[in-house]
């Protein structure tokens, strides 16, 4: 597979399948590459995959979720290649396991929705930020289970993804209200809990998410409202940012912005929320406290 | 004492439920012990061939009991623990390895894409025997849990310290008595109205030559600045590390936080619950009991006022410094780990097969 093909395949998924997250898109692209790859040695395969990861990272889409997905895939390859002697055997095993792997990953969202269900207490008011597929899935399940609740959605500038979320909720006939980003402090006293998704969960248990999440979390903490994060475990990533400045530039800015000389004028698209603001993480591995994230990552990467 | 062997199981169950409902077994420890006994008998009487059948029957049965006693988290804990014991024994027998088996979902498992689907359908001979052996161990663990907690007393209580405790808890009593063998210290006990169990504890401690002072609940904040440690018992530890405990404890924990006094919670493993507090309006979290202790029935006012007498308080995990269980000390953020060690995630919800 050529670089252009990788790029096209990935862009195709990102554009045509709005239900697929960036991590999954990256992983399925890499699996596709693995299928068509003609390399003869593990080393060559590694190199090919790495160059494909680079291609994916350089597309015009946001890359926050991509890094954890790619890292997970490389780890998956490492586990598979340890077990077999000949390369042909190894590749067959990789492809077989790849399918199981992808299936497990795609089941994750449903699992998260299920464990979140008991938290939708009757008549609850929920605040959410931007558009998150997991949060939407959880709310869909809740409304289908005859739960009564009201959702406040912040508009989420600059891409106004909150409006998209609002429309999706409307379509599911979930009572919802669109609010301004600047009204988060105003609305906080009225809500019972905050529920957001995450683009990436870092080792400290903090999250990297659409800009404005951090503001919301700080606000929630001050008014003592629980701040829940719904996320799939494949978004766990081996990073340890200590503050906003630590976030890699390609997370915060799109590829177009990065070429500009002066990043001061560019608006960052994600921010980092410290784990002390997060009450619980709802993942397909169960309901976790922020400190559990490092545990999971250590188990995987040690 | 019930005669387990001769009575048919239904009668045993009725007895068990009514004893708990009528608060004949006030003590959580007794409830835990009786629950294990009941389940032993149940496993012994039912017919099953595969482990899956056994698990399903037990879950149904567990569901039946927990819905009859929704407020007793302990019962659910024991049911889940027993289910986990059976799962462990089954997998142990199947794999025949010395390796420790991790039943948990983990990122590692997803990435290595192991085929972990064992449907518990294989018939394992001798499984019953090993389950009963494991249940024996579990019973011993429950029996000795208070003692195991008390053994750690000297690590936490130092000479001339001032300890504050709330109401009466058997764990705390034993803990303090054990420490008093080697150390001299002073204990403040709050009365814990309306039940006023604190009085009994203060009496018991002073009989044991521990310098103890009984204080009304309202003076707790004034005393707190002089206190070195708060040690309390608990009804259940929630899955997020919060506590469901006697009323008054939240106020004490807030006062302790104000003065930066560490709050130590004595909680045997069987009090670890897989439930969360989703909202203060949640059903089956708090229990409202007779207003008798708050207002005397003979008082003529009683018909003119509303009286509430809730039993429990929820203490959020931020206000707890340390848990001491029979396995050692743990911070509240570690509770999720303990939970995943003793319960299987599939058993959190007993109604799904």
Q: Are A149 and A123 in contact (CB under 8 A)?
A: yes
Question: What residue segments make up the domains of chain A, in order of their start?
Answer: 3-108, 112-301
**pLDDT score, position B103:** 62
Q: Are A130 and A169 in contact (CB under 8 A)?
A: no
Q: Work out the number of other CB atoms within 10 angstroms of the CB of residue B267.
A: 26
Nearest CA to A120 out of B131, B198, B281 is that of: B281
For residues B114 and B332, give the distance between their C-alpha atoms in angstroms, rounded to a whole number.
Answer: 32
Minimal-distance CA residue of chain A relative to B340: A286
Residues of A in contact with B240 (CB under 8 A): 279-280, 287, 289
Give me the residue from B113, B239, B241 closest to A104, CB to CB: B113
**Residue A80: its H or E element:** helix A64-82
Q: Is the pLDDT of residue B4 over 60?
A: no
Q: Which residue has the higher pLDDT, B177 or A23?
A: B177
Nearest CA to B85 out of B51, B53, B118 is that of: B51
Q: Work out the number of other CB atoms within 10 angstroms of the CB of residue B221.
A: 15
A47 vs A34, A51, A74, A85, A119, CA distance in Å?
A: 12, 6, 11, 20, 45
**pLDDT score, position B113:** 65
A93 vs B: CB within 8 A: no
| pLDDT tens figures, B227-239 | 999 999 999 999 9
- Can you tell me whether residue A154 is helix, strand or coil? strand
CATH number for the segment(s) B7-99+121-142 = 1.20.120
For residues B29 and B31, give the distance between their C-alpha atoms in angstroms, rounded to a whole number.
Answer: 5
**pLDDT score, position B352:** 73
Q: State both tokens at A10.
A: 């990935």
pTM, rounded to two decimals: 0.91
Please judge whether A121 and B279 are an interchain contact, meaning their C-beta atoms are less than 8 angstroms apart: yes
Please judge whether B106 and A289 are an interchain contact, meaning their C-beta atoms are less than 8 angstroms apart: no
- Can you tell me whether residue B264 is helix, strand or coil? strand
A228 vs B: CB within 8 A: no
**pLDDT score, position B6:** 47
| pLDDT tens figures, B155-168 | 999 999 999 999 99
Average pLDDT of chain A, as a whole number:
90
Please judge whether A299 and B345 are an interchain contact, meaning their C-beta atoms are less than 8 angstroms apart: no
Scan for tokens 């699992």, then name that residue. A111
Paired sense of beta strands B236-237 and B229-232, if any? unpaired
In angstroms, how far apart are the furthest CA atoms of chain B? 71
Q: Are B324 and B149 in contact (CB under 8 A)?
A: yes
Average pLDDT of chain B, as a whole number:
88
**pLDDT score, position B298:** 80
Please judge whether B113 and A286 are an interchain contact, meaning their C-beta atoms are less than 8 angstroms apart: no
Nearest-Cα distance to chain B for A251, in Å, is: 23
Please judge whether B276 and A118 are an interchain contact, meaning their C-beta atoms are less than 8 angstroms apart: yes
Nearest-Cα distance to chain B for A263, in Å, is: 36
Q: Are A181 and A191 in contact (CB under 8 A)?
A: no
B7 vs B13, B22, B42, B153, CA distance in Å?
A: 10, 21, 12, 42
Give me the residue from A72, A124, A291 closest to B111, CB to CB: A72
**Where does the pLDDT of residue B1 fall: very low under 50, low under 70, confident under 90, or very high at 90 and above?**
very low
A291 vs B: CB within 8 A: yes
DSSP assigned state of A236:
B
A192 vs B: CB within 8 A: yes
Q: What ipTM is given for this predicted complex? A: 0.87
Give the rounded distance of the alpha carbon of A156 from its chain centre.
17
Residues of A in contact with B333 (CB under 8 A): 289-291
**Where does the pLDDT of residue A228 fall: very low under 50, low under 70, confident under 90, or very high at 90 and above?**
very high
Nearest-Cα distance to chain A for B347, in Å, is: 12
Residues of B in contact with A280 (CB under 8 A): 240, 276
**Where does the pLDDT of residue B100 fall: very low under 50, low under 70, confident under 90, or very high at 90 and above?**
low
CATH class of domain segment(s) A3-108: mainly alpha
| pLDDT tens figures, B199-226 | 999 999 999 999 999 999 999 999 999 9
Contacts across the A-B interface (CB distance below 8 Å): 73
Please judge whether B279 and A297 are an interchain contact, meaning their C-beta atoms are less than 8 angstroms apart: no
For residues B53 and A122, give the distance between their C-alpha atoms in angstroms, rounded to a whole number.
Answer: 35
Residues of A in contact with B330 (CB under 8 A): none
Q: Are B239 and B339 in contact (CB under 8 A)?
A: yes
**pLDDT score, position B96:** 62
From the number of C-beta atoms within 10 Å of its C-beta (0-12, 13-18, 19+), residue B119 rates as exposed
CB within 8 Å of chain B, chain A residues 42-81: 72, 75-76, 79
Q: Are B323 and B332 in contact (CB under 8 A)?
A: yes
Q: Is the pLDDT of residue A1 over 90?
A: no
Percent of chain B whose pLDDT exceeds 70: 93
Residues of B in contact with A72 (CB under 8 A): 107, 111
**Where does the pLDDT of residue B249 fall: very low under 50, low under 70, confident under 90, or very high at 90 and above?**
very high
Question: What residue segments make up the domains of chain B, in order of their start?
Answer: 7-99+121-142, 145-347
Please judge whether B110 and A299 are an interchain contact, meaning their C-beta atoms are less than 8 angstroms apart: no
Q: Work out the number of other CB atoms within 10 angstroms of the CB of residue B322.
A: 16
Mean pLDDT (whole number) for A174-180: 97
B253 vs B167, B181, B314, CA distance in Å?
A: 14, 28, 10
Q: Is the pLDDT of residue B254 over 90?
A: yes
Of A73-82, A85-94, A202-211, A258-267, give the range with the top mean pLDDT.
A202-211
Residues of A in contact with B242 (CB under 8 A): none
Topology of domain A112-301, CATH: Rossmann fold (3.40.50)
B337 vs A: CB within 8 A: yes
Q: Are A137 and A112 in contact (CB under 8 A)?
A: yes
| pLDDT tens figures, B18-37 | 999 888 887 889 999 999 99
Q: State both tokens at A96.
A: 């077989």
**Where does the pLDDT of residue B82 fall: very low under 50, low under 70, confident under 90, or very high at 90 and above?**
very high
| pLDDT tens figures, B304-344 | 888 888 889 999 999 999 999 999 999 999 998 899 889 98
Nearest-Cα distance to chain B for A266, in Å, is: 36
In angstroms, how far apart are the furthest CA atoms of chain A? 63
CATH class of domain segment(s) B145-347: alpha beta
Q: State both tokens at B40.
A: 């032993």
Percent of chain A whose pLDDT exceeds 90: 53
From the number of C-beta atoms within 10 Å of its C-beta (0-12, 13-18, 19+), residue A173 rates as exposed
Please judge whether A79 and B278 are an interchain contact, meaning their C-beta atoms are less than 8 angstroms apart: no
Q: Is the pLDDT of residue B2 over 60?
A: no
Residues of A in contact with B113 (CB under 8 A): 76, 97-98, 100-101, 104
B76 vs A: CB within 8 A: no
A204 vs B: CB within 8 A: no
Interface test with A, best of B102, B111, B316, B351 (most A CBs within 10 A): B111
CB-side exposure of B129: number of CA atoms within 13 Å?
A: 4
Q: Are A104 and A128 in contact (CB under 8 A)?
A: no
Angle at alpha carbon of residue A191, lines to A190 and A197, rounded to 5°: 150
Give me the residue from B108, B110, B279 closest to A124, CB to CB: B279
Nearest CA to A30 out of A52, A13, A12 is that of: A52
Q: Is the pLDDT of residue A140 over 70?
A: yes
DSSP assigned state of B318:
G
B104 vs A: CB within 8 A: yes
């Amino acid at each position: 597979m050529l670089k252009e093909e990788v790029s096209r395949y990935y862009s195709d998924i990102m554009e045509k399948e709005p239900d697929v997250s960036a991590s999954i898109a990256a992983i399925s692209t890499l699996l596709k590459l693995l299928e068509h790859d003609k390399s003869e040695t593990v080393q060559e395969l590694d190199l090919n995959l790495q160059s494909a990861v680079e291609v994916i990272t350089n597309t015009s889409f946001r890359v926050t979720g991509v890094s954890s997905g790619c890292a997970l895939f490389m780890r998956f390859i490492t586990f598979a290649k340890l077990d077999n002697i000949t390369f042909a055997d190894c590749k067959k095993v990789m492809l077989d396991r790849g399918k199981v792997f992808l299936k497990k990953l795609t089941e994750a969202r449903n699992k998260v929705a299920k464990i979140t269900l008991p938290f939708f207490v009757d008549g609850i008011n929920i605040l959410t930020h931007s558009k998150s597929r997991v949060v939407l899935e959880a709310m869909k399940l809740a409304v289908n289970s005859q739960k009564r609740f009201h959702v406040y959605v912040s508009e989420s500038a600059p891409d106004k993804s909150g409006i998209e979320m609002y429309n999706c909720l409307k379509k599911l006939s979930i009572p919802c209200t669109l609010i301004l980003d600047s009204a988060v402090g105003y609305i906080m006293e009225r809500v019972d809990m905050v529920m957001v998704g995450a683009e990436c969960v870092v080792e400290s248990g903090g999250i990297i998410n659409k800009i404005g999440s951090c503001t919301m979390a700080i606000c929630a903490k001050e008014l003592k409202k629980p701040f829940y994060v719904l996320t799939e475990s494949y978004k766990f990533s081996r990073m340890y940012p200590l503050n906003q400045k630590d976030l890699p530039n390609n997370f915060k800015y799109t590829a177009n912005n990065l070429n500009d000389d002066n990043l001061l004028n560019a608006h960052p698209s994600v921010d980092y929320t410290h784990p002390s603001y997060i009450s619980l993480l709802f993942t397909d591995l169960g309901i976790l406290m922020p400190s559990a994230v490092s545990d999971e990552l250590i188990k995987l990467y040690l | 004492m019930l005669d387990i062997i001769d009575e048919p199981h239904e009668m045993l169950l009725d007895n068990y439920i009514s004893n708990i409902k009528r608060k004949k077994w006030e003590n959580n420890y007794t409830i835990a012990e009786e629950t294990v006994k009941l389940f032993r008998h149940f496993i012994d009487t039912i017919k099953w061939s595969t482990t899956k059948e056994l698990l399903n029957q037990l879950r149904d049965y567990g569901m039946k009991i927990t819905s009859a006693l929704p407020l007793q988290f302990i019962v659910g804990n024991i049911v889940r623990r027993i289910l986990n014991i059976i799962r462990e024994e089954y997998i142990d027998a199947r794999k025949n390895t010395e390796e420790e088996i991790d039943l948990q979902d983990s990122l590692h498992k997803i990435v290595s894409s192991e085929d972990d689907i064992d449907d518990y359908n294989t018939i394992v001979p001798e499984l019953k025997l090993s389950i009963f052996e494991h249940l024996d161990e579990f019973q011993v663990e429950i029996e000795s849990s208070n003692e195991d907690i008390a053994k750690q007393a000297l690590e936490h209580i130092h000479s001339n310290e001032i300890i504050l405790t709330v109401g009466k808890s058997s764990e705390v009593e034993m803990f303090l008595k054990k420490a008093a063998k080697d150390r001299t210290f002073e204990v403040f006990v709050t009365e814990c109205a309306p039940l006023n169990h604190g009085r009994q504890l203060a009496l018991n401690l002073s009989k044991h030559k521990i310098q103890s002072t009984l204080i009304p609940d309202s003076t707790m904040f004034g005393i707190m600045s002089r206190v070195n440690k708060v040690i309390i018992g608990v009804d259940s530890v929630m899955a997020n590390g919060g506590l469901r405990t006697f009323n008054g404890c939240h106020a004490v924990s807030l006062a302790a936080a104000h003065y930066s006094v560490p709050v130590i919670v004595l909680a045997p493993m069987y009090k670890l619950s897989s439930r969360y507090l989703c909202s203060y309006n949640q059903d089956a979290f708090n229990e409202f009991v007779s207003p008798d202790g708050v207002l005397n029935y003979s008082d003529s006012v009683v018909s003119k006022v509303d009286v509430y007498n809730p039993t429990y308080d929820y203490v959020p995990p931020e206000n707890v410094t340390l848990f001491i269980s029979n396995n050692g000390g743990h911070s509240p953020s570690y509770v999720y780990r303990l939970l995943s060690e003793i319960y299987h995630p599939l058993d959190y919800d007993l109604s799904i097969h």
